[in-house]
Structure 1
Amino acid sequence: MGFIEVADRVWVARYEWFDVNVSVIGGADGLLVVDTHASDLAARGVIDEIRALGAGEIVGVVNTHEHFDHTFGNHAFRTACGTIPIHAHETAAERTVSAGERIKGLYDASPVSGEDADPHREEVLATEIVAADRTFSSAVSLDLGDRLVELVHPGRGHTGGDLVVRVPDCDTLLAGDLVEESAAPGFGGDCYPLEWPWTLDILLGLTTSSSVVVPGHGAVVDREFVEVQRNQIGLVAETIRELAGRGVKVEEALRAGEWPFPGDALAQAVRRGYEQLPRSQKRLPLA
């Protein structure tokens, strides 16, 4: 749909592939790009659209976490813009290459032709993986000349290295995949379902009732949407604790619980949650 200004000098483009969002924050010193899409080829199109805004030169990139649909455009931005800094949480930067190689392995094993073939297969495989080179552990501020942009690691949730981007002067928060609008939250094989609600509590503390919140995927939302999703994720966490505390086996948990999201979206969440529970919160499986 192209870039749309959702707050003062904050633009968001929502791309059909993965329904992923790429955001741009403008300042007197240039543009900060948040997430870079899922391949080198896709990112080159993003760069053309950013330049068409005529809002300034790209001076930096932020990855909200390590997943390939948010990082595989890093190389294209480096090629087009020179040695601009790429910022990420230290855990995300450490895991970017291994996470990307795992995805490349899945694409490489996928069909080359036929109705099950992914049309993006070759461009994903051709992408050079570039990890962030500017990292932090808790929070850091970036100076864009006439405004400060804050990068905050509110805790673990969708991954171990999630960050949010706060633009205080226009009350805008770019939440990455800690918040998703177009589908159920991404409970993947590297998620932290028991900690995710607490992480969203901190994220909510960075917002106001008037905040613009940009999710990793889908339409721009408000604080109320985030509160609802936080409570849904909280219910997932509490249900995992309750079932494990009653001695329900992990293999039976999806059938035994009442869940706020479809079961096929929660298989990894349940498995991960059981693995992450301390021994004191588990009982031996019931006979």
Structure 2
Amino acid sequence: MDTNTHGWTEVGPGCFARRYPSYDLTIGAVVGAVGILLVDTRASLGEADELRADLRRLSRAPVRWVVDTHWHFDHCFGNARFADAVIYGHESVPAMLEARADGVRAELSARSAEWATEMAALEVVPPGRTFASVAMADLGDRVVELVHPGRGHTDGDVVVRVPDADVVYVGDLVEESGPPSYGDDSYPLEWGATLDVVAGLLTTRTAVVPGHGTVVDHAYVGEQRGDLVGVAGTIRRLVEERVPIERAWEAAEWPWSREALAEAIRRGYAQLRDTRGRRTLPLV
């Protein structure tokens, strides 16, 4: 199913996606018998107000559940506008928001007067219903599964699976509108294995909704997983061969640009050097 309803695309029965120009963010909405489950809330209160208006054009049902796919501002700084809902997130998210939200607000405030106004009004609301691995939300006539498949884009990525519709919202574990985003909180050596877990939630017909970009499929996830595994393998090889990090870019072939991979290389080298410095017990 792929019909357009007031700007929302129905990617499966009762499952919708809407792509916003701001940060090219893709929002998800799952309509159940007793309310809507919303996947991410956008980057500010103003953007969340626009989202609420767009949701009313989709359905008059209330938003009763929110899922933060991870802690990054463009996905959860609109939470306060949905404070009456149960807000789900990985157990790492509240601490990350407490530690880093103020810094992000300052960076955004410096971008423009408009953003400064938005950030001055912002109330950061962390998820109140956290979990370590798996949670479920009962929408009355359907159950939605929430899964933390492992570390990758962040240490608290969550995917949202709607089994009866064969739809999975994957947040920024999968990118369609650009290369995967390796930030200073990413886990480049683990990301490919995390997507192995995600792939186990998919069928060949699953509609996969990324955090940025248009809907993709199982094959696309497999291709991106292959590139992520390749990046991790290359970093491991370079470290084993004692190639200095300053020469890493020129010493190998990479699937994405130097700018896109700079943080992956830095964090991968740091993680492997840290691991090498640890003493481990012998295996018996």
Structure 1 gap ranges (5+) = 113-118, 283-287
**TM-score scaled to structure 1, two decimals?**
0.91
Kept after mapping to 2: 8 A contact 1:179/1:215: yes
Of 190, 193, 197 in structure 2, the residue corresponding to residue 198 of structure 1 is 193
Task: Kindly state the Cα deviation for residue 125 of structure 1 after the two structures are TM-superposed.
Answer: 4.0
Identify the residue that residue 87 of structure 2 maps to in structure 1.
86
Q: For 1:241 and 1:50, locate their aligned partners in 2 and report how far apart those are by CA, in whole Å.
A: 45
Identity of aligned residues (%): 45
Which residue number in structure 1 is paired with residue 141 of structure 2? 146
What is residue 61 of structure 2 aligned with on the other side? Answer: 56
Which residue type is aligned with residue 173 of structure 2? L
Query: What is the DSSP-based 3-state SS (H/G/I as helix, E as strand, rest coil) of the residue aligned with 1:149?
Result: strand
Cα 1:96/1:53, change in 2 over 3 Å: same
Distance 2:57 2:98 in 1: 31
Calculate the aligned-residue CA RMSD, in Å: 1.6
The worse-fitting range, judged by mean Cα deviation, of 123-132 and 103-112 is 103-112
1:33 aligns with 2:38: yes
Give the SS at the match of 1:266: helix
User: Structure 1 residue 132: deviation in Å?
Assistant: 0.5
Moved more, 100-109 or 229-238: 100-109
The residue type equivalent to 1:200 in the other structure is: L
Q: 1:223-271 CA distances to partner (integer Å, 9 max, x unpaired)?
A: 1110000001111101100111111111221222210001100111111
Q: Which residue of 2 aligns with 1:75?
A: 80
Please tell me the residue identity of whatever aligns with 2:262: A
- Judge conservation of contact 1:67–1:99 (CA < 8 Å) in 2: no
- Residue 122 of structure 1, CA deviation: 2.9
TM-score under structure 2 length normalisation? 0.92
1:252 is aligned to 247
Q: Confirm or deny that 1:267 pairs with 2:256.
A: no
Of 131-140 and 254-263, the range deviating more from structure 2: 254-263
Of 23-32 and 47-56, more deviation after overlay is shown by 47-56
Whole-angstrom distance in 2 between the partners of 1:211 and 1:23: 15
> 1:167 & 1:29 partners in 2: Cα distance?
16
Alpha carbons 1:241, 1:281 under 8 Å: kept = no
Partners of 1:71 and 1:216 lie apart in 2 by 12
Q: Partner residue of 1:115?
A: none
Q: Secondary structure at 1:141's aligned position in 2?
A: strand
Gaps (5+ residues) in structure 2? Answer: 1-5, 278-284
**In the comparison of the two structures, how many residue pairs are matched?**
272
Which piece of structure 1 moves more, 55-64 or 187-196? 55-64
What is the CA–CA distance in structure 2 between the aligned matches of 1:153 and 1:218, rounded to whole Å?
21
Structure 2 Cα separation of the partners of residues 111 and 163 of structure 1: 31
Provide the C-alpha distance between the structure 2 equivalents of 1:205 and 1:55, rounded to a whole number of angstroms: 34
User: 1:179-227: per-residue Cα shift (whole Å, max 9, x none)?
Assistant: 0100110100100000000000000000010000000000010011100
Q: Could you say what secondary structure the match of 1:180 adopts?
A: coil
Show the counterpart of 1:183: 178
Asked if the contact 2:110/2:116 (under 8 Å) is kept, the reply is no
* Code of the aligned partner of 1:132: P
How many angstroms does 1:52 deviate by? 1.3
Q: Which of the residues 12, 16, 31 maps onto 2:21?
A: 16
Deviation, 1:281, is 6.0
Q: Does 2:215 correspond to 1:215?
A: no
User: Compared with structure 1, are the counterparts of its residues 133 and 279 closer, same or farther at alpha carbon in structure 2 (3 Å cutoff)?
Assistant: closer
